[in-house]
Amino acid sequence: MAVKFKLQKSGMKSRNHYGMYYAHTIRGAELTLEQIEERIQSNCSAKVSDVRMVMAELFSTIRLALSEGQVVNLGDLGKLYLSVTSNARKTSASISTSPELSANTSPVDTASSRKA
């Protein structure tokens, strides 16, 4: 998979990396859920309504697994898991009881994942 990126110079003077260059991804056009359903329908015998039903169940199953703390392995697509972030504090009492939640993906190297 080719990833398009551009180099961007850091302008944040408060950081030690001021003036250094970083790679930033260039996003392409957005593909909607409806467009995905249409593409799947055109490539197999399933109708859009069937695709929509299966995808809804897939999303529901993934949400449930993530809420139970499980890692969801989607094969060549990668893995989904929840993580939390917080700032370092001197005492545990000063950390919020509701930290920032985020869903992460772990891309899979398809060449090495097929070796077994």
Q: Is residue 115 part of a domain?
A: no
Residue 17 has what pLDDT?
Answer: 74
Asked if 4 contacts 23 with a C-beta cutoff of 8 angstroms, the reply is no
Q: Is residue 11 part of a domain?
A: no
| Owning domain of residue 48 | 29-87+100-108
pLDDT 10s digits, 5-46:
899 888 777 667 778 888 888 988 999 999 999 999 999 999
Residue 12 has what pLDDT?
Answer: 72
Q: Is the pLDDT of residue 113 over 50?
A: no
pLDDT 10s digits, 37-59:
999 999 999 999 999 999 999 99
Task: Output the 3-class SS for the chain.
Answer: CCCCEEEEECCCCCCCCCCCEEEEECCCCCCCHHHHHHHHHHHCCCCHHHHHHHHHHHHHHHHHHHHCCCCEECHHHCEEEEEEECCCCCCHHHCCCCCEEEEEEECCCHHHHCCC
pTM of model > 0.75: no
Tell me how many domains the chain contains.
1
Beta bridge partners of 8: 22
